[in-house]
Structure 1
Amino acid sequence: MAELSYELTPAEAKSRLDAGDAVLIDVREPQEHQICSIEGAELIPMNTVPQQLQHVEEVADEKTVIVFCHHGVRSLNVVTWLRRQGVDNCISMSGGIDAWSAQIDPTVPRY
């Protein structure tokens, strides 16, 4: 299997989600999640990812894990860390939920 790149665009993320072969993990803080969210995404704040590693590994065994945050910086850090832990089936959504709102779903509030 070819190695995944570290990032994909919101359009690529939507395509994978629509195909049913990916899941979303939101690594923003709970107060950010209250402002807006992407339907179906699981909230795992960045600072709790190490405690959730086994869960993320189990999810990644089944589907590609697409990680996102507000603008794509934290999610890229999380993906880099996860790959160092051996979770290869994960990728960061470039531009985060802000780009998702601008490019995919304008009903998602921007902040």
Structure 2
Amino acid sequence: MSKSLEYEIQPEEVKPLLGTEGVVLVDVREPWERDTAKIEDTLFIPMGDIPARIQELDPDDHVIVVCHHGVRSLSVAAWLRQQGYEKAQSMAGGIDRWSRFIDPKVPLY
């Protein structure tokens, strides 16, 4: 049995995973936030819509949840874990940290 994943993953660890089969980046911010700044190739499901749209996610996938600073995404990742999504993680620092350290073309807000 493998060691369970931490609840948070650093943006530097997320970048090489993007585009990998079985890895899904889920943006749980509000539509206006997504219109302001986004990471390409993410699934956009606002936090409040997650319970109604959970069937869009595969429990076998490595689901990485992102928000603005990492607070909402941590809450969503914990909830997904309770629903059986054992590989759900929150991207620490959110899109703010992504903009600062990974891709400065993504606007800060």
Query: TM-score interval w.r.t. the shorter chain?
Result: over 0.9
| 1:15-61, Cα deviation, whole Å (9 max, x unpaired) | 222655522100000010000100001110000000011222x2x42
TM-score (norm 2): 0.92
Question: Is 1:65 the counterpart of 2:63 in the alignment?
Answer: yes
Q: Give the equivalent residue in structure 1 for 2:40.
A: 39
Structure 1 stretch displaced more, 3-12 or 21-30: 21-30
Unaligned segments of structure 2, at least 5 residues = none
Q: Give the equivalent residue in structure 2 for 1:5.
A: 6
Unaligned segments of structure 1, at least 5 residues = none
- Contact 2:78–2:88 (Cα < 8 Å) also in 1: no
TM-score (norm 1): 0.91
Secondary structure at the counterpart of residue 3 of structure 1: coil
Match of 2:92 among 90, 94, 97: 94
Q: Give the equivalent residue in structure 2 for 1:85.
A: 83
Aligned length: 108
RMSD over aligned Cα atoms = 1.3
Give distance in 2, aligned partners of 1:68 and 1:21. Answer: 17
Residues 18 and 41 of structure 1: is their aligned pair in 2 closer, same or farther, counting only changes over 3 Å?
closer
Q: Give the equivalent residue in structure 2 for 1:53.
A: 54
Runs of 4+ aligned structure 1 residues displaced above 3 Å come to 18-21
